[in-house]
A = this chain, B = another copy of it.
C-alpha cells in the first residue's frame, strides 16, 4: 500500500495565488508530491511556471489535454489531478481527467451548472474515482467539532442558523483597473451565474450543510450589484427554509469595507447553541440552555475525535487557513488510497467534501439567481 502519492496541478501558475495555496496545503503534510503540471492556459506560462516550481521538463505540459493524455500513459502516472483553474474550465477539465481515470480534486464552485456537476458526479461514481471539491473551510478542526456536536444532538433540534461570509476587496471597481483576480470573477462567461454567490456564497451554503446536515426546502434570495458597471452580484442575502422547520440566514458580500475574509457560523438549537468565527478559528463557543458559555478550543478538553485528527499542533498554537485547507487534501489522499487499495476509508477521508456537495453548491447558486429574478421564494427541487 502506497502511503505517499503524486499529483499534477492544472492551473495555478506562478502568478496565480490559489495554486500556491493548494500546493502549500498539500505540502504541509508531505503526503503527496507535485510531479507534473499544466499550470496556465498559455503554453509559455505553463512551461515557465513548471520550471519555477522545479518540475521535471518531461512532465511540464503546455495544456491540460496534453497532461492528461501523456500522464495516463506513464507507468508512474500521477495519482490525482488538482484543478485550480477559473470556474468556466472546471467542467471540461474534470470530465477529461475522470475519463482518463484520474482521481480529481476540484476547486469550487465545481462547475457552471448543476447539470454539469451531476454529470461529473455520475462519471466519477461510474469509474469508482474519487472526486473531491475543496470546500476548504470545512477543514477547520472546530468546524468539525461543531458538526460532531450538532450530529450527536448536543444542541437539540436546530432552529436557526446564521452564516456570514463578508469581504470588502470588491467594494470598488477593481476589474476595470485590470486586477486579475477581480476581472475573471466579474465576467459571467468565466465566473458563471454568481458573483459573490459563486465565489464565497457557495462556501457559505456548504459550511451550513457540512455542519448541520440540514436539507434545504426553499429559499428567498436578494442579490445586489452595488458597484457601478458590475454585471454579477457582489452582495447576496438569502433566507433558507430547511426540512424540519429550521431557518437560515446566509449573507455573502464582497463590498463590506473593512472585512478581509470574515466568516462566522452561529447555530441555535432548542437545547444549546454554538458560535464560530474564522478570525478566532481555534475556538468554538458553546452555550447550553440555562448555562454559561463554554469555549472549546482546538486541542483542548472534551474535543471530539474528528477535531483531534484534523489538528496539526498542540493547543494554543494557532492554526489557520492553510492547516484547514490541508485537511481537505489529507482526506482526499486517504480516500484515493482507500479506493486504490480497496481498504476502508479513514475518518479524514469520510470528512472530505465530495462531488455531491459540489453539485449542491452549484444548485444553490442557480436557485438564488432564480429567486432573486422572480423576487419570490423558490422551492429547492
Contact = CB atoms under 8 A, between A and B. Distances in A.
Given A24-B28, A257-B273, A297-B260, A313 B322 contact: yes
Nearest to A377: B375
Interface stretch (A119-127, A298-306, A350-358, A359-367): A298-306
A251 interface: yes
A101 interface: no
A366 to B, nearest CB: 20
Nearest to A251: B249
Interface stretch (A7-15, A92-100, A287-295): A287-295
A245 to B, nearest CB: 8
A159 B170 CA distance: 13
Interface stretch (A63-71, A106-114, A276-284, A334-342): A276-284
A44 interface: no
A376 interface: yes
A40 to B, nearest CB: 19
Given A160-B235, A222-B220, A322-B323, A285 B301 contact: no
Contacts of A269: 257
B247 A249 contact: no
B289 A300 contact: no
Contacts of A271: 257
Contact of A320 (B3, B24, B29, B320): B320
B251 A222 contact: no
Nearest to A293: B295
Counting contact residues on chain A (CB < 8 A from B), the size range is 35 or more
A35 interface: no
A172 to B, nearest CB: 6
Interface in A133-175: 159-160, 162, 167-168, 171-172
Given A4-B54, A281-B318, A322-B322, 18 more contacts: A27-B28, A159-B226, A159-B235, A160-B224, A160-B235, A160-B256, A257-B268, A258-B273, A260-B297, A260-B300, A261-B314, A261-B316, A262-B316, A293-B295, A318-B318, A319-B320, A319-B321, A319-B322
15 contacts: A17-B314, A159-B235, A160-B255, A224-B247, A237-B239, A237-B249, A249-B249, A256-B266, A257-B271, A257-B288, A258-B293, A259-B316, A280-B280, A313-B321, A322-B322
